Structure 1
Amino acid sequence: MPADEYDVIVIGAGPVGENVADRAHATGLSAVVVESELVGGDCSYWACIPSKALLRPVSALADARRVAGAAQAVDGGLNAEAVLARRTSFVSDWQDDGQAAWLDSVAVDLVRGHGRLDGPRRVVVETPDGSSRTLTARHAVAVCTGSRAALPDLPGIVEARPWTSREATSSKEVPRRLAVVGGGAVGVEMATVWQALGAEVTVLVRGDRLLPRMEPFAGELVAGALTEAGASVRTGISVESLERPSPDRPVTLTLSDGGRLEADEVLFATGRAPRTDDIGLETVGCEPGNWLTVDDSCRVKGVHGGWLYAVGDANGRALLTHQGKYQARIAGSAIGARAAGVPLLETDRWGAHAATADHDAVPQVVFTDPEATSVGLTAAEAEDRGLRVRVVDQDMGEVAGAALYADGYRGRARMVVDLDREVIVGLTFVGPGVSELLHSASIAVAGEVPMDRLWHAVPSFPSVSEVWLRLLEGYRG
């Protein structure tokens, strides 16, 4: 086989691209990954890993303060320098040698540079030394280019030099005053971190609550905790313009209520946009800059020959790293099967080559204090789908294991049950430590476990997981 011909070409070496290449290679195909930045992508260096490294000391300290006896041993706040140093160690000081070595260990080639499609199954790479290299795929090209922060078109925003999620997770200094624009996962997580590290934080939300894609009580509990910690949370407020006279001066935000807010840094956490605008999509009949529409095997619709795939954030189905990796496992296996001439059951729910969880069982954790987690549908989403549902709520503080976990434990759980099929279609947990409850919830939803069978799944006493028993008791009446 010619040196620059492979069975599969993957554009983007984040966790999604790595998994597509690895799974395709596991089926016996040769694979190459093209990357213009760091192997490991945003998740490893500017998102999931650094944000959780920053958040863990916050929750650890909060947990200690919630338990009598341990609380008396806490005599100070977080050491910002140590927290930031720990974050930097987890991102390997923004060096990707280890992840590049992993690709080599699984026999996947790496080409550094900016890759662009150049017609069917061809990718031209502009390498760092200024030369170009043309790669040809025998079977498939997978677009795994991810997404980037979407900034609104506001007067003065360029001169204001705002933070995005990248700057918020990689800053080496704590700003004295930080304005956070946006109330989604990135906004509330970064507000939690920088408030705990000593910044004066103001959260500005256009809508009426935080975490709008979760059950309403999730945003209410997180907003209450942020306020108790000293942050200011303002809803129904949008930014009209920004002014920053020079890079070393504060930024002034003009707000929709006529007020003004001065901050040393401003973080815009107002959504994501696909990185599909400069990868040659126009050469294969696709519109650049858009999310790519795919089937459940992540194959791009409308491309002649069915050789193009879009996996992870590039397809816009579920902008979460773990969900993108799930899609990558599906897509890599589908590419291998098609290359071998094996028929696929793409349209079968929960089939080996169908990313069904994207529609019905997407899990998410927001690592604030308290944590907010969910999988499946909210009550409102279930009703919008026309399902006949029953909602069961539970105060988690009334669960013995939760009371032992933290004095004065505050949290809430909600279970949404499809009454016609007698299965759970959505679960939400909010409270300290609830992220470890989420996978059991994901299994219940994805497995469509009958309610009568769940009654026989016995939670250990006294653990926080006993909330499952309380929810089931509430359903049975």
Structure 2
Amino acid sequence: MSPQPEQYDVVVLGAGSTGENLADRARAAGLSTVVVESQLAGGECSYWACMPSKALLRPPSALAHAHALAGAKQAVSGSLDVAAVLARRDEFTSHWHDDSQVDWLRDSGIDLVRGHGRLAGERAVLVDGERLLTARHAVAVCTGSRPHLPDVPGLAEAHPWTSRDATSSARVPSRFAVVGGGVVAVEMATAWRSLGSEVTLLVRGPGLLPRMEPFAGELVAEALTEAGVDIRFDTEVTELHRSGPIVELHRSGPVTLALGGGDRLEADEVLYATGRAPRTDDIGLESVGLSPGSWLEVDDSCTVRGVAGGWLYAAGDVNHRALMTHQGKYQARIAGAAIGARARGEQLDTQRWGAHSASADTAGPPQVVFTEPEAASVGMTLRQAERAGLRVRAVDHDLGKVAGASLYADGYRGQARVLVDLDRGLLVGATFVGPSVAELLHSATVAVVGEVPVDRLWHAVPSYPTISEVWLRLLEGCRDATAAR
């Protein structure tokens, strides 16, 4: 007997931050909305990614900043209280309970259905094979992504850590191997080294943070090495073996990693931080003519391509445009507004920077790597700009020569770069590396995404003495470059 359908205006698959924001926008447009979630409401960011990872990273960062100032460092004694750091991390995850998120959904007028949802044809979602939800206007897939594990002999049997284990572990491994050179790899190497692990970072390529300017990876690598992390570049893991029994996924023995060239490394835990894959393998994509396990291609309103009728949306990691929480929430607001407009019979504003156009994803979204030093970027790198055929000039400045930075930390080390498009007189990229440079990033984002002309930006005078004064030097270089074009 088929289940009796329950009808809503909008059905959202996934109650992470993206799904919550999309549901909120749809509800604000007056549409009845339900969210389907099989795990915790609040999703990856709240419990296993952004919040716990930054909670782990903030205490060592604060300690490092205190040690960088004469007068303050003499007052600091001892090392981090590991138990207190982990307890604070647990507070930020609400101890992996989602009561507050459930309350927020209820108070926002959004229904929550617990269970595994699968598309069941046009505008329909079947939950746990028993409960059928239908949508008058739209179904939105906001199921996010999961860690991608490569096909390495012995990897599955070794039960490696993924990002979830690395941010939620209640114990500090004595010997910790990290495979990868991207954001998760360097952040978790930073966090667990500060908590006492002997960390070995195994990087397949020649440098860290390959999607940022080369100097970002170089400065982060230098700091990790100074902190005691053993970084091995151009290194590939060819096989793994875990000794001892594994009972209910409890990892009881050390793992041995065979490395290219014949070397071996023994660790108590190994984290694989080697990319992400979409959580779309079991959500019924085949019922609407799409391939299970695939990224969902969307237009700028986050409408899924290849599905007739314009009723299926995908926002956040699952569409592979920009795998960052803030961009997922941005897309969610765009998609929610688009769904509301279509429900009212309005034509979408899909012009660049229009209300229903997630154009900022393609401009190079802002990103911060919360290592010590921090690395922050928005827009293109020099290499990307040149590959795109732009005539650009890189303007660099040593952040240690900025008065505000030198006051911030004795011996401040950092680097800033902006890219100016010589033909248009606009900034198309910015990268900052140094302690607390994350706070510089939004001004750069406004400049790059807002396409504010350099001649106008030059009149935005930074306060003295702050780290932001670096803008004065960067923009002087930009004006000189554009004047000489």
What residue in structure 2 maps to residue 198 of structure 1?
196
User: Identity rate of aligned residues, in percent?
Assistant: 69
Is residue 331 from structure 1 mapped to residue 342 from structure 2 by the alignment? Answer: no
SS at match of 1:116: strand
Is residue 234 from structure 1 mapped to residue 232 from structure 2 by the alignment? Answer: yes
Deviations 1:413-455 (A, max 9, x none): 0101111111000000000000011111110011100000001
- Picking from 348, 351, 354, the partner of 1:351 is 354
Q: Is the 8 A contact 1:361 1:442 kept in 2?
A: no
CA–CA separation in structure 2 for the residues paired with 1:381 and 1:226: 26
CA–CA separation in structure 2 for the residues paired with 1:54 and 1:245: 29
The one-letter code of the counterpart of 1:104 is: R
Is residue 141 from structure 1 mapped to residue 120 from structure 2 by the alignment? Answer: no
CA–CA separation in structure 2 for the residues paired with 1:466 and 1:406: 15
Runs (5+) with no aligned partner, structure 1: none
Cα deviation, residue 349, structure 1: 1.1
Cα deviation, residue 103, structure 1: 0.4
SS at match of 2:200: strand
Cα deviation, residue 476, structure 1: 2.8
Q: Is the 8 A contact 2:381 2:429 kept in 1?
A: yes
CA–CA separation in structure 2 for the residues paired with 1:423 and 1:375: 14
Is residue 425 from structure 1 mapped to residue 423 from structure 2 by the alignment? Answer: no
What residue in structure 2 maps to residue 18 of structure 1?
20
The one-letter code of the counterpart of 1:280 is: G
What residue in structure 2 maps to residue 341 of structure 1?
345
Deviations 1:290-344 (A, max 9, x none): 1000000000011011100010001001000000000000000000001111111
Is residue 263 from structure 1 mapped to residue 267 from structure 2 by the alignment? Answer: yes
SS at match of 2:80: coil
CA–CA separation in structure 1 for the residues paired with 2:342 and 2:42: 27
What residue in structure 1 maps to residue 247 of structure 2?
none
SS at match of 1:140: strand
Cα deviation, residue 132, structure 1: 1.5
Is residue 282 from structure 1 mapped to residue 286 from structure 2 by the alignment? Answer: yes
- Picking from 70, 73, 82, the partner of 1:71 is 73
Q: Is the 8 A contact 2:69 2:409 kept in 1?
A: yes
Deviations 1:235-273 (A, max 9, x none): 100100001122311100000121000000000000000
Q: Is the 8 A contact 2:37 2:117 kept in 1?
A: yes
Q: Is the 8 A contact 1:382 1:389 kept in 2?
A: yes
Q: Is the 8 A contact 1:16 1:328 kept in 2?
A: yes
Compute the TM-score of the two structures, normalised by the length of structure 2.
0.96
Deviation larger for 448-457 or 153-162: 153-162
What residue in structure 2 maps to residue 80 of structure 1?
82
CA–CA separation in structure 2 for the residues paired with 1:248 and 1:307: 49
Deviations 1:48-86 (A, max 9, x none): 000000000011000000010001111111111100000
The one-letter code of the counterpart of 1:255 is: L
Q: How many residue pairs end up in the alignment?
A: 471
What residue in structure 2 maps to residue 380 of structure 1?
383
SS at match of 1:425: strand
CA–CA separation in structure 2 for the residues paired with 1:291 and 1:154: 23
Deviations 1:381-405 (A, max 9, x none): 0111110101101100000000000
Q: Is the 8 A contact 2:147 2:276 kept in 1?
A: yes
List, as ranges, runs of 4+ consecutive aligned residues in structure 1 with deviation greater than 6 Å.
none
What residue in structure 1 maps to residue 439 of structure 2?
436
Q: Is the 8 A contact 2:160 2:270 kept in 1?
A: yes
The one-letter code of the counterpart of 2:231 is: V
Deviations 1:207-258 (A, max 9, x none): 1000000000000000000000011111100100001122311100000121
SS at match of 2:417: strand
CA–CA separation in structure 1 for the residues paired with 2:210 and 2:261: 21
What residue in structure 1 maps to residue 302 of structure 2?
298
- Picking from 276, 296, 311, the partner of 1:272 is 276
- Picking from 357, 360, 363, the partner of 2:363 is 360
Q: Is the 8 A contact 1:222 1:370 kept in 2?
A: yes
- Picking from 416, 434, 454, the partner of 2:419 is 416
What residue in structure 1 maps to residue 102 of structure 2?
100
Cα deviation, residue 192, structure 1: 0.2
The one-letter code of the counterpart of 2:378 is: V
Cα deviation, residue 10, structure 1: 0.2
CA–CA separation in structure 2 for the residues paired with 1:361 and 1:466: 24
Q: Is the 8 A contact 2:185 2:273 kept in 1?
A: yes
Cα deviation, residue 470, structure 1: 1.1
Cα deviation, residue 4, structure 1: 1.6
Q: How do 1:441-460 and structure 2 match up within 5 A?
A: 441-460=444-463
Cα deviation, residue 345, structure 1: 2.6
The one-letter code of the counterpart of 2:44 is: D
CA–CA separation in structure 2 for the residues paired with 1:452 and 1:54: 41
Compute the TM-score of the two structures, normalised by the length of structure 1.
0.98
Q: Is the 8 A contact 2:178 2:202 kept in 1?
A: yes
Q: Is the 8 A contact 2:454 2:479 kept in 1?
A: no
Q: Is the 8 A contact 1:250 1:263 kept in 2?
A: yes
Cα deviation, residue 3, structure 1: 7.9
CA–CA separation in structure 2 for the residues paired with 1:13 and 1:196: 33
The one-letter code of the counterpart of 1:320 is: M
CA–CA separation in structure 1 for the residues paired with 2:301 and 2:194: 42
CA–CA separation in structure 1 for the residues paired with 2:182 and 2:309: 39
The root-mean-square deviation of aligned C-alpha atoms, in Å, is 0.9
CA–CA separation in structure 1 for the residues paired with 2:291 and 2:33: 26
SS at match of 1:471: helix
Cα deviation, residue 159, structure 1: 1.5
